[in-house]
A and B are shown apart, each in its own frame.
Chain A
Amino acid sequence: MSVSNLLENWSEFRHLHPVDDVPHDPYKWAMSIDLDACSGCNACSVACYAENNLPVVGKEKYAHGQAMHWMRIERYWDEDGREFPDQGAQFLPMMCQQCEAAPCETVCPVGATNHTPDGINSQIYNRCIGSRYCSANCPFKVRYFNWYDYPTTDNVWPAEMNQQLNPDVTVRGKGVMEKCTFCIQRVTVAKNNAKNEGRIVHDGDVQTACQQACPTSAISFGNLVDKESKVYKQWKAQQVELDKDAQAKDKNEEGRSELRGYRIFEELRPYPSVMYLERVRESAV
């Protein structure tokens, strides 16, 4: 162990995404979510539970804020004076934003959360010691901690439900942090298939579980480097750029942009990989 050794390894270990580093090539996975299409049905969340072996913690733990929903639908009631059931609501599907300059990555004492070359914020369960600093520093609070040893907690996967556990995904033990992976197991399969055929992944080769389950196709997922992908086209059309902390958009004569695309907490500079398309409000129509 020497200092030079340390420094050499260090440059491999940490990149300055996305502004100062080699561009992602050939993949940069990203998403866009159309809030106008989202009906708040929670199918994405359910699909995520099934795909990623998320423990169903039950009413009591859910009420304690110990739910493990990697994909959650946040509901915000409209405050326009109308009463339920006439009252409207807005829905925000929220999952790990796969930030390029992720606040969680720099603070992990053991380097258990890292950036993959294709732009996904990875979590190494075996390396995690459970300091929970990543979650403390996450502005979106999309990281979920295994408060209990769910694989052995009896009510999490009752008898038949354990049959539907996904063999491609590990079941996490107690004391580690976990979060949305952009369905990395599916991405990996698609990448391997493409590699065997000597090409890169085409748009549509891989779908995330939430995207697949969404009845209104509100969620698109794909490769932001690939100029043919839907996600690339959406980001381009909305003039949202990955490495900007404030987007310069075309303005109308009132000085406001009519484009709907935005990223959450751009100004905090995490450079999220998920773009949302603003809901077209009833009042605006």
Chain B
Amino acid sequence: MMKDISEDIAWAKINKDVLKSLENPRKLYWVILFIAIAMVGVAVGCEVYQYNIGMGVANMDNPHMWGLYIATFIFWIGMSHSGTLLSAILHLMHADWRKPIYRFAEAMTTFSLMTAGLFVAVHLGRVWQIYYAIPYPNGRMVWPNFQSPLLWDAMAIFTYLSSSILFLYVGMIPDLAIVRDNMHSGWRKKLYSALALGWEGTDRQWRNFRVTYLTIACFLIPLAVSVHSIVASDFAMSQQPGWHITSFPPYFVAGALYSGCAAIITLFIILRYVFKFEEYMTLSILKKIVRLTFAIAMVWTYLNLIEYASVWYGHDQASKDVLIQKATGPYAPFWWMMNFCGSIVPLLMFFKRFQTNIPVMFAVSLLLNLGMWLERWMIVAPTFSHGYYPWTWDHDQWPSLIQWGIVFGSFGWFTLLFMVFCKVFPSVSMYEVKEMVYHRKQATKKLATAGKGAH
């Protein structure tokens, strides 16, 4: 059996290897960073244009009121669930293998939420009035509408974002102290000294730290479930054919975990190479995430089929028409592609020989996320194209390059944030990897003594 981590890595070496990632990554890092900035530039240009001229340049119309913005918004919200899954849920389940990879998964959570939040702004017709959606104190007693799922959305996302930032930060404190102690003096030393909050690693500090971390983890799990259920409510609570489906919340949560796990595989492979983390992000760990992803893929497939079945056998002809429209209309290529990428491609993960095959897994993980992005688009767009009655049908609308540009740029924005984070903060949890190595060593020692006793 492969080991998650080798038991003979010295603690000093762990420090050294991880700290190195703050100093000299491979050249590829700078290439990625440059491409990301260029992509963000494209999106900023598109947004400035749209802001000045009006939403019309996105080529939305009546009935296509929402477009790629909302689809991509759901995509990024979904992406954020993996971090919580890995760090909070697996933490409570004592799955040790999460330790070398949970830090970057958590960073992913935070940054994908930040990206998603931008889409709300990009989508609004009057983004300069966005604060109307917040229940802020005002003399005229004007409230937002607490009945609106969009308002719940705003609240859920704010809560989730602030909690996940807190979680990411608290979990990083012991590591920040290590970085502080090993940094040459300069602005970075000052930054880490401030962020480490005077951590010395005393017994008392460790005890408080554990309790705090566990508490936030417990707090975060229901939040993660609720946030995507609420995003699902945006659709399920509406009255439109193809949206008004009871199973949407669990379907969305499964989809969220699915795309999140797929993204973890992608980033795992990139980080492993770029920051030379081969010793910590081992193939054995990759295998475990792949298996987890496969399981979630099957859950998603099941819920997806449930959705089709409940629409097909339901009495709502309008919903059924939308489903038929998805499978045969102008969106058919994307719809079939989504089903292929979401349900067929992950079957590769079933085979052991592919589970640790890096090029195959990289390609698979990208395809899975393509499928999941298409899934969100196929939830949003076909309903708009094929409403309740013929006048509201519009099968020809196609998002303009402005929309595509902003969606494209959002990937750059996420990558930019993520890459900067990995360069500034330790993206592998040093103290938890040490724990892991320690436990591993204890286990081998026990095994060895047990073996001796038998003789």
Within 8 A of B (CB), among A1-39: 1, 6, 9-10, 13-14
Decide yes or no whether A48 CB sits under 8 A from chain B: no
Decide yes or no whether A56 CB sits under 8 A from chain B: no
The proximity string for B residues 247-286 relative to A, scoring 1 for CB distances below 8 Å and 0 otherwise, is 0000000000000000000000000000000000000000
Chain B positions within 8 Å of A239 at CB level: none
17 contacts between A and B (CB under 8 A): A13-B143, A65-B397, A66-B61, A107-B238, A108-B148, A109-B154, A110-B132, A111-B142, A129-B126, A130-B124, A130-B126, A132-B65, A133-B234, A133-B238, A145-B65, A174-B55, A175-B54
Query: Residue of B at shortest CB range from A177?
Result: B125
Closest 9 CB pairs of A and B: A130-B125, A175-B125, A65-B61, A147-B56, A111-B145, A109-B150, A175-B126, A148-B54, A132-B65
**Known interface pairs A74-B391, A148-B54, A175-B126; A136-B66 also in contact (CB < 8 Å):** yes
The proximity string for A residues 133-152 relative to B, scoring 1 for CB distances below 8 Å and 0 otherwise, is 10111011101111111000
Instruction: With a 10 A CB-CB cut-off, give which of A1, A67, A94, A144 has the most chain B CB atoms.
Output: A1
Q: Please give the residue numbers on chain A whose beta carbons come within 8 Å of chain B beta carbons, in ascending order.
A: 1, 6, 9-10, 13-14, 61, 64-67, 72, 74, 76, 92, 94, 103, 106-111, 127-133, 135-137, 139-141, 143-149, 174-177, 265, 268
Within 8 A of A (CB), among B209-242: 234, 237-240
Binds A, one of B85-93, B101-109, B382-390, B431-439: B382-390
The distance in angstroms between the C-alpha atoms of A159 and B166, with both chains bound, is: 58
**Known interface pairs A127-B132, A175-B125; A137-B239 also in contact (CB < 8 Å):** yes
**Contact between B238 and A10, CB atoms less than 8 A apart:** no
Decide yes or no whether B33 CB sits under 8 A from chain A: no
A75: min CB distance to chain B, Å: 9
Apart from A111-B144, A174-B125, A177-B125, what 20 extra A-B contacts exist at CB < 8 Å? A1-B135, A66-B61, A76-B390, A92-B391, A103-B238, A107-B148, A107-B238, A108-B150, A109-B148, A111-B142, A128-B126, A129-B127, A129-B129, A131-B133, A136-B65, A136-B238, A139-B392, A141-B387, A147-B55, A174-B54
Decide yes or no whether B321 CB sits under 8 A from chain A: no
**Known interface pairs A110-B133, A137-B240; A146-B125 also in contact (CB < 8 Å):** yes
The distance in angstroms between the C-alpha atoms of A92 and B65, with both chains bound, is: 23
Decide yes or no whether B351 CB sits under 8 A from chain A: no
**Contact between A176 and B56, CB atoms less than 8 A apart:** no
**Contact between A107 and B124, CB atoms less than 8 A apart:** no
**Contact between B54 and A109, CB atoms less than 8 A apart:** no
The distance in angstroms between the C-alpha atoms of A41 and B454, with both chains bound, is: 100
Query: Residue of B at shortest CB range from A124?
Result: B142
The distance in angstroms between the C-alpha atoms of A100 and B93, with both chains bound, is: 51
Within 8 A of A (CB), among B144-161: 144-151, 154
Query: Residue of B at shortest CB range from A136?
Result: B65
Decide yes or no whether B60 CB sits under 8 A from chain A: yes
Chain B positions within 8 Å of A174 at CB level: 54-55, 125-126
Query: Residue of A at shortest CB range from B59?
Result: A64
Decide yes or no whether B320 CB sits under 8 A from chain A: no
Interface of B is mostly: loop
Decide yes or no whether B63 CB sits under 8 A from chain A: yes
Contact of B55 among A72, A110, A145 (CB under 8 A): A145
Query: Residue of A at shortest CB range from B64?
Result: A65
Chain A positions within 8 Å of B234 at CB level: 133
**Contact between B54 and A136, CB atoms less than 8 A apart:** no
B363: min CB distance to chain A, Å: 36
**Contact between B125 and A141, CB atoms less than 8 A apart:** no
Instruction: With a 10 A CB-CB cut-off, give which of B55, B65, B141 has the most chain A CB atoms.
Output: B65
The distance in angstroms between the C-alpha atoms of A177 and B129, with both chains bound, is: 14
The distance in angstroms between the C-alpha atoms of A149 and B239, with both chains bound, is: 30
Contact of A103 among B123, B141, B239, B392 (CB under 8 A): B239
A273: min CB distance to chain B, Å: 17
**Contact between A106 and B147, CB atoms less than 8 A apart:** yes
**Contact between B126 and A176, CB atoms less than 8 A apart:** yes
The distance in angstroms between the C-alpha atoms of A130 and B125, with both chains bound, is: 4
**Contact between B65 and A135, CB atoms less than 8 A apart:** yes
**Contact between B66 and A130, CB atoms less than 8 A apart:** no
Query: Residue of A at shortest CB range from B147?
Result: A106
Decide yes or no whether B24 CB sits under 8 A from chain A: no
The proximity string for B residues 116-133 relative to A, scoring 1 for CB distances below 8 Å and 0 otherwise, is 000000011111011011
The distance in angstroms between the C-alpha atoms of A268 and B238, with both chains bound, is: 11
Chain A positions within 8 Å of B154 at CB level: 109
The proximity string for B residues 399-416 relative to A, scoring 1 for CB distances below 8 Å and 0 otherwise, is 000000000000000000
The distance in angstroms between the C-alpha atoms of A144 and B151, with both chains bound, is: 22
The proximity string for B residues 305-327 relative to A, scoring 1 for CB distances below 8 Å and 0 otherwise, is 00000000000000000000000
**Known interface pairs A103-B238, A176-B126; A65-B62 also in contact (CB < 8 Å):** yes
Chain A positions within 8 Å of B66 at CB level: 132, 136
The distance in angstroms between the C-alpha atoms of A141 and B149, with both chains bound, is: 20
A4: min CB distance to chain B, Å: 13
**Contact between A135 and B56, CB atoms less than 8 A apart:** no
The distance in angstroms between the C-alpha atoms of A108 and B146, with both chains bound, is: 9
Chain B positions within 8 Å of A146 at CB level: 54, 125
Chain B positions within 8 Å of A66 at CB level: 56, 61-62
**Contact between A65 and B148, CB atoms less than 8 A apart:** no
The distance in angstroms between the C-alpha atoms of A265 and B239, with both chains bound, is: 12
Decide yes or no whether B451 CB sits under 8 A from chain A: no
